[in-house]
Structure 1
Amino acid sequence: MTDGAMQIEVGTGEDARTIAVRHRAAGTRQRPGLVWLGGYRSDMAGTKAVELDRYAGENDLACTRFDYSGHGESGGDFMRGTISRWLEESLAVFDRFTEGPQILVGSSMGGWIAIRMLQELRKAGRAERILGLLLLAPAPDFTSDLHEPLLTDAQRKDIEEKGFYEEETPYGPDPNIFTRDLFEDGRKNRVMTGIIETGCPVHILQGMDDPDVPYSHALRLVEHLPADDVVLTLIRDGDHRLSRPQDIDILLNTVAQMTRPPTE
């Protein structure tokens, strides 16, 4: 555990895992807090998460970021990771470290988890805790909609015989690993099966040059959000990471709009 990170235990018995959290308390101004939800195999030390935290510090905003189990500074076995498991951890961090209205900032898979968090909070009668969603290259239902249709025969065989398959990635030296459990659990957590009621503004930032989550996926997501205040910003030359200085500027400008008091 790196200095500065707090930790909480999620789960019990053999299912227990240690989750690393970095929480910045709010300043004196009454503004909504920010909760960072990272992508698959990313961590809270990434450019977007760090810049979001820096912005929060400069603007008296609370900011909470953490690593899912099997990611970054957290404990737990990555191979056991599923949407349900990471959702449980996200809700545990939310309950332990945040208070008052929050904006969920979800990147890639984190966009899926943000939507599922909102659904669970609404189900529990706590919808007022979420003031807005800011989704970056969101990948809801990516297992069933983006990956399964493209699986090769060899990959399907690996899933059947080994329980997982590996895939090279341009984002690091180690291959991505996708497990049978991830796919099976993903089907149980699908959100683009009907109307997604958020009850809050939704801002989506999506690169049109994204090789992992095509912008058509963001357009599909918007179709499932017809009842709410939804803004989709397409960045023509943006890739999946959206971590260039100009992308960070768009991110932080959007955060500024979403956290601005109504009187300003």
Structure 2
Amino acid sequence: MSLPPPQFLAVNGVDIALRRREGREPGIVWLGGYYSDMRGSKAEWLDQWTAEKGLAFLRHDYSGHGESSGEFRDGTISLWLEQSLAVFRQFSSGPQIVVGSSMGGWIALRLIEELQKAGKGGRIAGLVLIAPAPDFTSELVEPQLTNDQRRQIAERGCMEEPSDYSSVPYIYTKALLEDGKANQVLKGVIQTDCPVHILQGMEDLDVPYTHALRLMDHLPVDDVTITLVRDGDHRLSRPQDLELLTRTVSSMVDRAKTVHSIQ
């Protein structure tokens, strides 16, 4: 059966593609990773699971990703955060559990921070982070750059790197790296005021599991659980990984129902 076409939300002249499934609260909000789109295996799995459970589900593509318009090279954490906030505010209501994968984990932490500033932090009933990559530009990318890559960024404004997941190379722009510094979260105490569960593969070559452990050090106030998958890679998309994901989200839903007295 073919998937219905997405809805679109115009955010500063860019058409952001999104898919929304109506359902009960707490809803589930998906935030994908760098170069990922809302039709990836984990997002599709959650869509099927939420449909079976009758839960609301919201997902979207950042600009330059998937079905959204815009150029990938123009993307920054600030821009993709702005788009994510716009979709969240317009297409969700009530308590939500945010599931952020890789870069989506960074976007999720910044989204919560911005909602808190607006007095809406209580909207987040739980946070599930899959191989979270907060501050990946300064912590994981920049330290690995070769002199040639640094020269490319300085002269051309970007550099390319082969991807293990696609024939299209990763592009890292000077704007992305500079903007990443303005969105750093691993610089002090992070307080989400909600339960947090991190799923992390120990064979992850893109985001080492030590990065997830470091994130935990910055979450001293919240109720944080981490599940280390000994043979798990960065994607955590094997059948057993997807089952772990839904067990984790299901547990978070049950907790939210208790705290928020949702029927």
Question: Shared topology, TM-score over 0.5?
Answer: yes
Post-superposition CA distance 1:207-264 (Å, at most 9, x none): 0000000000000000000111000000000000000000000000001100013289
2:194 to 193, 197, 200: 200
What 5-or-longer segments of structure 2 have no aligned partner? none
Identity of aligned residues (%): 58
Q: How many residue pairs end up in the alignment? A: 256
> Counterpart of 1:8?
9
For residue 3 of structure 1, report the CA deviation from its aligned partner.
3.8
> Counterpart of 1:168?
162
Post-superposition CA distance 1:43-89 (Å, at most 9, x none): 01100000011111000100001100000000011100000000000
> Counterpart of 1:139?
133
For residue 4 of structure 1, report the CA deviation from its aligned partner.
2.5
1:25 to 22, 28, 39: 22
2:28 to 34, 38, 47: 34
Does structure 1 residue 108 correspond to structure 2 residue 105?
A: no
Hey, what's the Cα distance between the residues in 2 that align with 1:182 and 1:233? 30
TM-score by length of 1: 0.95
Q: List aligned pairs for 1:40-59, cutoff 5 A.
A: 40-59=34-53
1:78 to 55, 72, 97: 72
Does structure 1 residue 238 correspond to structure 2 residue 232?
A: yes
Hey, what's the Cα distance between the residues in 2 that align with 1:64 and 1:195? 28
The one-letter code of the counterpart of 1:215 is Y
Post-superposition CA distance 1:135-159 (Å, at most 9, x none): 0000000000001111000100000
**Divergent runs of 4+, >2 A:** 261-264
> Counterpart of 1:256?
250
What secondary structure does 1:259 align onto? helix
Post-superposition CA distance 1:151-173 (Å, at most 9, x none): 00010000000000000011011
Hey, what's the Cα distance between the residues in 2 that align with 1:177 and 1:218? 24
> Counterpart of 1:91?
85
For residue 128 of structure 1, report the CA deviation from its aligned partner.
1.0
> Counterpart of 2:216?
222
What secondary structure does 2:133 align onto? coil
The one-letter code of the counterpart of 1:105 is V
TM-score by length of 2: 0.96
Hey, what's the Cα distance between the residues in 2 that align with 1:127 and 1:19? 24
Give the alignment's Cα RMSD to 1 decimal: 1.1
Hey, what's the Cα distance between the residues in 2 that align with 1:169 and 1:47? 18
Hey, what's the Cα distance between the residues in 2 that align with 1:104 and 1:76? 24
What secondary structure does 1:171 align onto? coil
Hey, what's the Cα distance between the residues in 2 that align with 1:166 and 1:198? 34
> Counterpart of 1:65?
59
